[in-house]
Amino acid sequence: MPEDRITVVVGRADEIAPGATKKFLFVQRGQEIEAFVLNHGGELHAYLNRCRHVPMTMDWVENQFYTEDGEYIQCATHGACYKPDTGECVEGPPFGKFLIRVPLRLENGEIIADLPADA
């Protein structure tokens, strides 16, 4: 693994219930890069908080990413819907594109996130 890898401790895995999301930040060369983790059906996934239509954050309401029915991640700007488990856009302007996945691992019950290479 590269020595300059940027890693963040997101929090405890058991604090993120199914259907919940939590935002966190990477800092790269003095710039903040937002990301979020979600628990979808008991599985944790994380993505950069950056729509694939226009590269802007997706939560107008802080930390609100899910559609009302909890089926999709939705960008508040133009309504693009992404699958929570894959990050694939299935509706909206960036149809077919994928959110940038943040690799996660668990260490002693804590979620550790690595800044993706293509951030």
Query: Is 40:51 a contact under the CB 8 Å cutoff?
Result: no
CA atoms within 13 A on the CB side of 105: 4
Minimum gap (Å) between residue 20 Cβ and ligand FES: 22
Q: Whole-angstrom Cα distance, residue 82 to residue 26?
A: 22
Q: Compute the least distance from the CB of residue 66 to ligand FES, in Å.
A: 15
Decide whether 45 or 53 has the Cβ nearer to ligand FES.
53
Which of 6, 83 has the CB closer to ligand FES?
A: 83
Minimal distance in Å, beta carbon 60 to ligand FES? 11
Q: Do residues 33 and 48 touch, judged by C-beta distance below 8 A? A: yes
Beta bridge partners of 113: 8, 104
Rule CB under 6 A: which of 73-112 touch ligand FES?
75, 77-78, 80, 92-93
Chain positions contacting ligand FES, by CB under 6 A? 51, 53-54, 56, 75, 77-78, 80, 92-93
